[in-house]
């Protein structure tokens, strides 16, 4: 949980530090917008490409070594950003930083695979609560640093947060004990992917992960413009936007542990189905909303959905993953998730230029609806193949 908090805090500090650093490098307003998008996208592109490789290494040598290697590499790349002399160097370092971003995904893999089967939901919920807390704290720390320091001096602080998390991993985190001998994988990455894709319901779970991040990350850059056009703002100035954006994170922080516990009680699949359906309904409500109050309510309820989406995808993967392929399976799923993070903002900006911000929300109705259909399809597969899928044996009574 502390690893999630510290690394997420460092990641979100980047949001406030990057524009100031690019301005210091002498970019114009037009160049600033272009290079900010390129630099942010580079991180997601690297994570999308590297996660299957890290997953393969995790099954071979263990998760903790991957977390240590990733944490140290990310801390070094972040520190080097303070001496970057051009936007190209910033983009390259951001891409390399993404290549080392295995510490957060693998901390989640450790929890999902190591938690007792009846406490996977609540464990993942607490991890998500800490990650979202870091996402709220990071920009605040970054804003405070900019009051006293130049933007480039904020990157060593980011690096210190990541290095602290890496020390936590080194001192206190342990791989779950596995009595099976580690076997060198005899397949290549493509064969691993084909085997995972052919195992039901992993295609549906990977598509769901893609759709969820496509919608959530793709909407984030557009929300500020959408909120500013609303009627009946509660305050004067930019506080309206900040508050409306923060209520989503507040809902995730408040609801993640509770919804995780509920998921352990009623099952991850029903929670995932209801959450995707509600997210589609809320997207339609935002497409029709003109009142600031209505938007705030929708954003809070969307946070409740977020708290029940990806954690229950992770819990479903834990249920069906083949022993010995845990890290590879989660690695490919995370790769699809980051693919959604990369394509969402790119297509979001493009679609919004043609159909407007409200049209984008109607598009989200379709994407969340497709994700809901995937959850319903998983339920059908489970009912039709009960006893044939590699599921845990049901308890008697």
Q: Do the beta carbons of residue 84 and residue 100 sit within 8 Å? A: no
| pLDDT for the residue 251 | 92
Mean pLDDT of 319-338: 87
Averaging pLDDT over each range in 82-91, 104-113, 274-283, which range is the top one? 274-283
* CA–CA gap between residue 301 and residue 251 (Å, rounded): 7
* CA–CA gap between residue 41 and residue 306 (Å, rounded): 22
Closest CA to 328 of 40, 51, 32: 51
* CA–CA gap between residue 64 and residue 51 (Å, rounded): 15
Query: Over 80: is that where the pLDDT of 92 sits?
Result: yes
> Which pLDDT band holds residue 380 (cuts at 50, 70, 90)?
confident
Closest CA to 389 of 208, 199, 205, 203: 199
Q: Please, what are the domains in the chain?
A: 1-171 (1.20.1250.20), 199-387 (1.20.1250.20)
| pLDDT for the residue 395 | 47
HSE-CB at 208 with a 13 A cutoff on CA atoms is: 31
* CA–CA gap between residue 258 and residue 236 (Å, rounded): 35
> Which pLDDT band holds residue 396 (cuts at 50, 70, 90)?
very low
Q: Which residues partner with 291 through β-bridges?
A: 231
CA-CA-CA-CA dihedral for 186, 189, 191, 197, to nearest 10: 130
pLDDT tens track for 166-194: 999 999 988 776 545 455 556 778 888 88
Mean pLDDT of 239-253: 85
Q: Which residues partner with 231 through β-bridges?
A: 291
pLDDT tens track for 93-110: 999 998 888 898 899 888
Count Cβ atoms below 10 Å from residue 172 Cβ, excluding itself. 9
| pLDDT for the residue 242 | 77
pTM: 0.84
Query: Over 60: is that where the pLDDT of 388 sits?
Result: no
Q: Do the beta carbons of residue 189 and residue 60 sit within 8 Å? A: no
Chain position carrying tokens 């590879």: 328
* CA–CA gap between residue 275 and residue 166 (Å, rounded): 33
Q: Do the beta carbons of residue 134 and residue 8 sit within 8 Å? A: yes
The mean predicted confidence, pLDDT, of the chain is 86
| pLDDT for the residue 152 | 87
């Amino acid at each position: 949980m502390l690893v999630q908090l510290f690394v997420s805090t460092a990641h979100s500090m980047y949001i406030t530090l990057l524009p100031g650093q690019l301005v210091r490098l002498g970019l114009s307003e037009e160049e600033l917008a272009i290079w900010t998008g390129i630099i942010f996208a580079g991180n997601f592109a690297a994570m999308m490409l590297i996660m299957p490789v890290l997953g393969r290494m995790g099954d071979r040598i263990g998760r903790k070594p991957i977390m240590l290697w990733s944490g140290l590499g990310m801390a070094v790349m972040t520190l080097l950003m303070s001496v970057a002399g051009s936007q190209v160097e910033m983009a390259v370092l951001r891409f390399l930083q993404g290549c080392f971003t295995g510490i957060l995904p693998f901390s989640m893999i450790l929890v999902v695979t190591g938690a007792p089967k009846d406490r996977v939901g609540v464990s993942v919920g607490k991890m998500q609560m800490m990650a979202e807390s870091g996402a709220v704290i990071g920009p605040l720390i970054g804003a405070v640093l900019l009051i006293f320091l130049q933007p480039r001096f904020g990157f060593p602080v980011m690096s210190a947060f990541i290095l602290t998390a890496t020390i936590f991993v080194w001192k206190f985190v342990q791989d779950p004990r596995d009595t099976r001998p580690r076997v060198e994988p005899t397949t290549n990455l493509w064969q691993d992917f084909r085997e995972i894709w052919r195992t039901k319901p992993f295609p549906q779970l990977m598509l769901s992960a893609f759709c969820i991040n496509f919608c959530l990350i793709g909407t984030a850059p557009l929300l500020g413009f959408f909120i500013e056009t609303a009627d009946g703002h509660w305050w004067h100035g930019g506080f309206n936007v900040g508050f409306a954006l923060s209520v989503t994170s507040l809902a995730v922080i408040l609801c993640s542990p509770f919804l995780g516990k509920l998921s352990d009680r009623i099952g991850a699949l029903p929670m995932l189905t209801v959450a995707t359906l509600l997210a589609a309904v809320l997207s339609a409500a935002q497409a029709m909303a003109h009142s600031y109050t209505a938007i705030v309510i929708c954003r809070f309820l969307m946070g409740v959905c977020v708290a029940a989406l990806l954690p229950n995808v992770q819990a479903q993967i834990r249920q069906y993953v083949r022993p010995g392929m845990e890290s590879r399976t989660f690695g490919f799923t995370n790769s699809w998730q980051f693919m959604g993070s990369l394509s969402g903002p790119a297509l979001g900006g493009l679609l919004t230029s043609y159909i407007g911000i409200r049209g984008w929300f109607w598009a989200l109705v379709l994407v969340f609806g497709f994700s809901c259909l995937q959850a319903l399809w998983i339920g059908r597969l489970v009912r039709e193949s009960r006893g044939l899928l590699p599921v845990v044996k049901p308890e008697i009574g």
